[in-house]
Amino acid sequence: MVWPLLQSLRSGMSDAVRNALGDEEDRRIRADAAALDPWDALGDGLAAVRGVANEGEGWQPRH
């Protein structure tokens, strides 16, 4: 029952990201994300949040 309420939010956010990046860059980034191991993605996300909390220290993007 929650999904129908969140679907429009997800669609709007997806469209906003695509508009900001452009179609080609959006496809590339989504393909890169789909290829990530879920545990690696979680680790990268946690490291990024920790890095922001520590003023960007210690986190580097994968590419």
Domain chopping of the chain, boundaries: 2-53
Contact 27, 39 (CB under 8 A): no
Give the model's pLDDT for residue 44.
86
Per-residue pLDDT at 23: 95
Place of tokens 């680790």: 43
How does pLDDT run across 26-43, given as a tens digit for each residue? 999 999 989 999 999 899
Question: Using CA atoms, how far apart are residues 29 and 15, in angstroms rounded to an integer?
Answer: 14
- Say what the pTM is: 0.57
